[in-house]
Chain A
C-alpha cells in the first residue's frame, strides 16, 4: 500500500491543467478534485482520494474539517461544486446497489412508530422494490443482521425505547441488510457504550474478512491504530492518506489539527500509547 502525502494536486508541466489520475476498476472509491461549498464557504477543497479495496478505512480530522460532508458528497447527498466520484470505475447511480450507508444517529427522530426490525428491513427496500410488501424472506434476512450486532432479542422493540448504543447497532444492522461491497459509516462510535463499540468492531472485522471495504468517520484518535488499516487525515483537504502504520504520525496529525493544543496533546498521547502498545 502506498502512502501518498498530498500537498497540491500534481500539475501537468505543458498545460498547467491538473492531471486526472487514472482510477483503477479495483478501487471501490475514487475521488478526484472534489470541492464542496455551503453558502459560498468551501468545506472541502480539491479532495483527491483512492480507496484501497478490502480494508477498514477511517477518516480523521478536527471538528468542521468536512468529514461527514466528504461521505455525503460521495453519496450525492450534498452537491459538490466540482470534481468527480467513481465507484469501481463507474458513476454512483450505477453502483449504489453495492454501497451501504450508516448515517449519524442524531440525524433522525427516533420517536417514530416502527420497531428495530422494521428499521433493519428498510435496508432491503431497494431489493424488494416499489409497492411490494416486506416478505417473510426479507424479514428473516433482516433478523439475521440484527443477530450479527447482538440485537435479536430487541427486534420487536419500538426504536425510541432503545439506548443510544442499541440504536446505533440497529443502524449498523440496516446497513448489513443492504448486503453491499462498500460501506460508509458516519460516526458509528459516537457516544456509544463499550459493549456496542465492541460489537461494531467485531462487525467491521467480519466485513473486512469477507472482502468488503468500510469507510468510517472516526473521532477517537486513541483507537485508530487498533481498529483501522488505512487512514485519511482530513482538514478541508486531504492532508495525508495511506496505511495507518506509515501515515498516522505525529507530524501528519500536527498538520491536520494545527495549533489546537488540547487535541494535539491528545493526539501525541495516542501516538505514544500506540507506539508502546505495538511492541
Chain B
C-alpha cells in the first residue's frame, strides 16, 4: 500500500548520496487502480479527497478572479500570509497555546492576507502606481518579512516550530479527515455563492461602471469575490503551499476558457479541471513516493492547460491555425478558379499558375495544398505539363466566383455607406445575402459599364 510521504525536496535534501541514486519503483496497475478508486488506505483517501475539493473550489473562484483581472492579487495574498503565520505562532507560544495549532496559524494567515489586499488597495488609491506594481511590492515585502520571522523562530523558538516551513511548499500528506471536511465546506460555500451571485459577479467583472450606475454595490460584490479568493488561498496553503497555490486559481479557468464562450459552462469546466488536477495530482504523488503533492498537482493542472491551449476546438491554437489555413486555401482556390474562368475552359498553363502564386505572394506550400483542396471539392480534373485542367463543376464555380466578385465590387461602389457590413466574399452566391431586385440592379449597372457579368 503506498503511503504518503511528500517531502520538501528543496528544503530537506534527502539522504541519497547522489542524485542519480534514484530508487523510485513504478507502481503496479493494482496500486494505481486502488489509489484512483479511494481504496488505498484512509490517510491517502483523505489527501486525495481534500485536494480534489480544493481544486474544485479554486477552479470555481478562479474564474471570477480571472474575469475581474485580479488573478495575480491571489499571488500577493498567498505570499502575504507568511508573516501572519509566523506572528500567529509567536503570539500563541507567548500566550501559552499550542503554537502549531493549524487553526491559529490559518487565522493568522487570513488576517495578514487581508492586510496584504488592503495594502494593494491603498497603494493604488493613494499613489500613481498601478496595480501590477502594487502587487509586486506587497508580494515581495510581505514574503520577505515572513522569511525573516520564520528564520527567527527556527533559531530561537522551541522545537515546536518544526513544520512551519511546510506552508511555503505545502505538504498535502499532513491532511487529515478534519481537513477534508473543511475543504468540503469551503468548496460548498464557494459553489453556493457563485450559483446565487453568478449574474451579479459577471456584471461587475464585465462592466463595473454600468453596474455602479445601475445601483449594484460594486464594492460589496468585489469584497465577496475577494473573500472567496482569500478563503481558497488560505485553504490551499497546507496542501499546495503559498508559492504555488495561485496556480490553482489561474490554471483551471484559463484552461477552461479555451473550451467555451459561455459563462456558466466556464465555471463548471473550470471547477472540473481544478478538481481533476487535485485528484490526479495527489494520486500520482501518492503512487510515487517523495514527489511533493502540491507541485505534482500544479504540474497536472499545467498539463491540462497545455492540452486545452493546443487542442480546444473553439479557441485552441491548433484549431485556429487550421481555420486560418482553410480560409487561406478557400481564398486561393477562388482566385485560381476565377483565373480559370477567364481562360474560358482551356487548362491554365503552369506558368500562369506560378505567376498567380507570385502575384498573390503565396507561400511555397500553397500550391500542393491548393491541388489537394481543389481535388477534394471535385473542381480539378488533372494537372499535366499542359496546365491545370478543371472539371465542369470547377468551371461553373469559377463563373460563379467571378460573378460574385464583380457584383460585390459594384455593390461597394453603389452603396458605400452600408455595404461594408453586408459584403461577404465567401458566400456561394450573392443572392444568399442580397435581394434579387438589388442583384438585378447591380447587374444592370455593370452592363451599363460594359462589364460582362456571366450567368448565375
Contacts and interface: CB of A to CB of B under 8 A. Distances in A.
B353 interface: no
B214 to A, nearest CB: 5
A93 B215 CA distance: 8
Interface string A189-203: 000011110100000
A198 to B, nearest CB: 8
A122 B263 contact: no
A119 B206 contact: yes
Contacts of A181: none
Given A112-B67, A163-B421, A122 B209 contact: no
A133 B261 contact: no
A72 B209 CA distance: 9
B196 A131 contact: yes
A165 B421 contact: yes
A119 B263 CA distance: 12
A125 B209 contact: no
A39 B214 CA distance: 26
A103 interface: yes
A96 B207 contact: no
A108 B262 CA distance: 17
B212 interface: yes
Interface stretch (B24-32, B197-205, B396-404): B197-205
A184 B65 CA distance: 30
Contact of B262 (A75, A99, A113): A113
A118 B262 CA distance: 10
B417 interface: yes
B9 interface: no
B199 A134 contact: yes
A113 B214 contact: no
Interface string B90-114: 0000000000000000000000000
Interface string A102-130: 01000111001111001100110110101
A195 B213 CA distance: 29
Contact of A112 (B206, B214, B420): B206
Interface string A124-166: 0110101101100000000000000000000000100001010
Contact of B206 (A72, A108, A131, A195): A108
Interface in B258-291: 260-263, 266
Contacts, number: 84
Interface string B59-73: 000000001010000
Given A112-B205, A113-B261, A131-B197, A76 B212 contact: yes
B405 to A, nearest CB: 22
A1 interface: no
Nearest to B214: A126
A87 interface: no
A103 B203 contact: no
B364 interface: no
Contacts of A101: 209-210, 213-214
B209 A103 contact: yes
A128 B212 CA distance: 16
Contacts of A130: 200
Chain B: interface size category: 20 to 34
Contacts of A112: 67, 205-206
Interface string A160-177: 000101000000001000
Contacts of A158: 261
B259 to A, nearest CB: 10
A97 B197 CA distance: 21
A113 B213 contact: no
B432 to A, nearest CB: 14
Contacts of A163: 421
Contact of B207 (A103, A133, A134, A196): A103
Contact of B215 (A107, A109, A115, A126): A126
B7 interface: no
Contacts of B202: 114, 118
A217 to B, nearest CB: 14
Nearest to A99: B213
B212 A122 contact: no
Nearest to B197: A131
B130 to A, nearest CB: 15
A77 interface: yes
B389 interface: no
Which has the most chain B C-beta neighbours within 10 Å: A72, A76, A108, A113? Answer: A113
B418 interface: yes
A122 B207 contact: yes
Contact of B212 (A77, A93, A114, A194): A77
Contacts of A256: none
A119 B203 CA distance: 9
A178 interface: yes
A62 to B, nearest CB: 23
Please list the 7 inter-chain residue pairs (A to B) with the smallest Cβ-Cβ separation, ordered nearest first: A194-B417, A158-B261, A101-B213, A131-B196, A195-B418, A75-B213, A113-B263
Interface of B: 67, 69, 196-197, 199-200, 202-203, 205-207, 209-210, 212-216, 257, 260-263, 266, 417-418, 420-421
Given A163-B421, A194-B417, 12 more contacts: A96-B215, A103-B207, A103-B209, A107-B207, A108-B207, A112-B206, A122-B206, A122-B207, A125-B199, A131-B197, A134-B199, A194-B418
6 contacts: A75-B213, A97-B215, A115-B262, A131-B197, A134-B199, A195-B418
Interface of A: 72, 75-77, 93, 96-97, 99, 101, 103, 107-109, 112-115, 118-119, 122-123, 125-126, 128, 130-131, 133-134, 158, 163, 165, 174, 178, 193-196, 198
